[in-house]
Structure 1
Amino acid sequence: MTRFYDLASLTKPLVTAPLALAFLDLDADRRWPLGFHDRETPLTVRQLLSHSSGLPPWRPFTGEPVAQQLRREAMGHPLLRPATPGLATYSDLNYRLLAELLEAETGAPFVKLGAASGLNPAPWSTPPTVIPDGPDATAWPLATETSLPARSPWLPHDANARAGMQGHAGLGAAPAQLHAALIRWVAAGWPQRMAVETAPGEDGARWGLGLRVAHAGQGRFGQLLSSIPPGIGTCILEDPTEAAPLPTPGLEADPGPASGWWFHLGYTGPALFFRPSDQACIGLLLHRRGPDGVLLDAESLRARRWATLARFVGQSGG
């Protein structure tokens, strides 16, 4: 059986960032068109792509403008915290705003723009594996009186995306479909343009224009990826199981040196890795439901990704 996967935040590097790089001026000040009339510093596409805009991690997608939402204080959940001053803070809001700018610039709805990637925008005809609601469903009522969007097997899993794709989530793919999309993505040069170190982030992260540096410290994906020989091309690794993941190496606080790879992770489980030196690209397809039907926590999800990558590294001679 061919499985279908909710790609979640892989929408950002595979769809939204390429569109922004193709259609938008990276350094024009966008405060006024986006409604940030009280902001004292410029707001640019470059900042949005690199998560260095200073926006907090999350607000519910209710159709209300982001700037208007942020004028109201919302506390009580880690997703609602303020950004860390001076550091890139990973935020869905950056890509929601990029989607707004793209729709204004092109005159086309984001869903139509996204379909040109070769991936499937929701609602889907084939549902992916269902996973339980996560932290955004808990944070939702703390930030808005609007009801949580209804669940549907044909819509993206996370509550924010259920209410609207808008640049940060909402596309899915079967393995062969993602493989073809990644080949086109690499050939078009998009990841090469994203893999440009732009902004320091929290916990030692380094962000480019849509991708993040994969460091080679203990327990980090770059530690595994560093041993993959050149010339592997574009590969899709699929692990559709719900088996309990084996323990992984402990994740040390020091991120270590850059591995030469860049990456992005999807909330629902999939991941994307790219090496500019030889344009190697790995798409990881798995889901986040554990053997008891519960949502895997971040560490267990890292373990499932680690195990899938480790098998591939061994097979590739790394």
Structure 2
Amino acid sequence: MRRLVQKGIEEGLFPGAVVCVSRNGDPLYYEAHGKAEATPAERTMTLDTRFDLSSLTQVVATLPAVLRTVQMGKLSLIDPIARYLPEFATGVDRHAKGQISVFQLLSHTSGLPAWKPFFLTARGVKAYLRALADTPLEAAPGEKAIQSDLGYLLLGFALERIWDRPLQDVCERLVFRPLDLNQTSFATGEPLPTELCAASEVGNECERRLCAPYGINHFPWREDVICGEAQDGNAFYGLDGVAGHAGLFSTAADLNRYAEVWVRKGVFRRERFLDATLVTLATQTHTKDLAGEGGMQRGFGWETAHPGGTLGEATPAMSFGMVGKGHSVAIWCDPVSKMTAVTLTNGWHPRGRDGLQEWLKVLHKRIF
């Protein structure tokens, strides 16, 4: 494991990494290597370095908060999301949007597009809901699997509406505090202290390129090293750092503790955190017969092991996990062997890199 991590650094795939591999919650390999920041200053990576989890926010914050809300009887998986966010079904495709269920949003089968740069013009939840109402569906609900940031944006807004609290408070109360995830939080308002975090991109080059077709000539893009604040544009610019699809920061130790809950069927320290039936629903494939992206199969947020998936044949049958944006961060769980793997790299620093996916495949093949 150490040689593989050091090889990734030597080949320039990332400046540094923290990897934690555990069985039954006990670390078998847990080390930090390389640099948390390479430019303009250099900082050493440590076990306590916090990483921008990017799209892992969906399965570490939003998914468990939704499932806990279901357990408490304040939400149903078969409910149309418009029951909680009626303004969502007032614009384009209003009839179809009125039928989109919580289940479909969780399983990425709502028909919503994968991504839209709402942050170019929208600020705040009300503006985002108007933009979502005006966004056409790419498919009828239930007909296609599309990994959609927009679906998890909606789930985050629904949690705020149901609990009448900001999303970060909902997740703190329902997820982070009960699981003792003391180093897990959103970067709200002010950035997290730089010395605690792994550096990300220099500027917003990735999304700046994605926004080129929208003809935006003037936008207050960040130019310096992004560190301690969300790299994702919709989270950072539009929603003050807190969103259902991105914006969460955490450490390998916290994520290892979180992953352990999933391989233990929802039990944390002999206490029931998630209902076992909901854990089964969340980790079984719901997209097997749906045309989707590259053969990827989905449970609720989690990707389920499949030869055509992100990590290919490197992960065992019955396992599940998620690989974040740019293949720089990942969680993978095998409930059969009770093995979990948390891989955190700053592969976006100072620019995104090719080759990370293949490196992750080799790493996970060695682990599992």
TM-score normalised by structure 2 residue count: 0.64
Q: Any residues of structure 2 matched to 1:122-271 within 5 Å, and which? A: 122=187, 123-125=191-193, 126-132=196-202, 133-140=204-211, 142-143=213-214, 147-148=219-220, 150=222, 152-163=226-237, 164=239, 165-184=242-261, 186=263, 187=267, 188-189=273-274, 191-199=279-287, 200=290, 201-217=292-308, 221-226=311-316, 259-267=317-325, 269-271=328-330
Deviation sequence 1:101-123 (CA, Å, 0-9, x none): 00000111111223342222213
In 1, the alpha carbon distance for the partners of 2:192 and 2:279 equals 26
Comparing 181-190 with 115-124, which one deviates more in the overlay? 181-190
In 2, the alpha carbon distance for the partners of 1:169 and 1:30 equals 20
The alpha-carbon distance between structure 1 residues 225 and 100, as it changes in their structure 2 partners (threshold 3 A), is same
Q: What amino acid sits opposite 1:121 in the alignment?
A: F
Comparing 99-108 with 27-36, which one deviates more in the overlay? 27-36
2:86 aligned to 9, 29, 33, which one? 33
In 2, the alpha carbon distance for the partners of 1:105 and 1:88 equals 26
Deviation sequence 1:185-235 (CA, Å, 0-9, x none): 553346544113223333322221221222135x96241223xxxxxxxxx
The alpha-carbon distance between structure 1 residues 225 and 35, as it changes in their structure 2 partners (threshold 3 A), is closer
The alpha-carbon distance between structure 1 residues 69 and 45, as it changes in their structure 2 partners (threshold 3 A), is closer
In 1, the alpha carbon distance for the partners of 2:250 and 2:60 equals 12
The structural deviation recorded for 1:69 is 4.8
Deviation sequence 1:104-152 (CA, Å, 0-9, x none): 0011111122334222221322232222435433234655968355464
Q: What amino acid sits opposite 2:357 in the alignment?
A: R
The structural deviation recorded for 1:87 is 1.1
In 2, the alpha carbon distance for the partners of 1:26 and 1:72 equals 23
Q: What amino acid sits opposite 1:27 in the alignment?
A: I
Deviation sequence 1:150-199 (CA, Å, 0-9, x none): 46422012323322321111111222232233334553346544113223
In 2, the alpha carbon distance for the partners of 1:160 and 1:144 equals 17
Q: What amino acid sits opposite 2:320 in the alignment?
A: W
3-state secondary structure, aligned to 2:325: coil
The alpha-carbon distance between structure 1 residues 72 and 194, as it changes in their structure 2 partners (threshold 3 A), is closer
In 2, the alpha carbon distance for the partners of 1:103 and 1:220 equals 31
Please report the RMSD computed on the Cα atoms of aligned residues, expressed in angstroms: 2.8
In 2, the alpha carbon distance for the partners of 1:206 and 1:98 equals 20
> 2:112 aligned with 1:68, yes or no?
no
In 1, the alpha carbon distance for the partners of 2:215 and 2:104 equals 26
Structure 1 runs (4+) greater than 4 angstroms displaced: 141-146
Residue 155 of structure 2: aligned partner: 98
In 1, the alpha carbon distance for the partners of 2:108 and 2:59 equals 12
Name stretches of at least 5 consecutive residues in structure 1 with no aligned partner.
74-81, 227-258, 314-318
Please tell me whether the aligned partners of residues 89 and 133 of structure 2 are also in contact (alpha carbons under 8 angstroms): no
The alpha-carbon distance between structure 1 residues 161 and 193, as it changes in their structure 2 partners (threshold 3 A), is same
In 2, the alpha carbon distance for the partners of 1:141 and 1:20 equals 35
Residue 9 of structure 1: aligned partner: 55
Higher relative contact order (CA 8 A, sep 6+): 2
The structural deviation recorded for 1:270 is 0.7
Please tell me whether the aligned partners of residues 156 and 169 of structure 1 are also in contact (alpha carbons under 8 angstroms): yes
The structural deviation recorded for 1:58 is 1.0
In 2, the alpha carbon distance for the partners of 1:166 and 1:5 equals 16
In 1, the alpha carbon distance for the partners of 2:210 and 2:95 equals 28
1:120 aligned to 166, 185, 198, which one? 185
Deviation sequence 1:263-297 (CA, Å, 0-9, x none): 2111151112123445432222223247xx43114
Q: Any residues of structure 2 matched to 1:287-302 within 5 Å, and which? A: 287-289=346-348, 293-297=350-354, 300-302=355-357
The alpha-carbon distance between structure 1 residues 169 and 202, as it changes in their structure 2 partners (threshold 3 A), is same
The structural deviation recorded for 1:306 is 2.1
> 2:332 aligned with 1:286, yes or no?
no
In 1, the alpha carbon distance for the partners of 2:322 and 2:339 equals 14
Name stretches of at least 5 consecutive residues in structure 2 with no aligned partner.
1-44, 70-74, 268-272
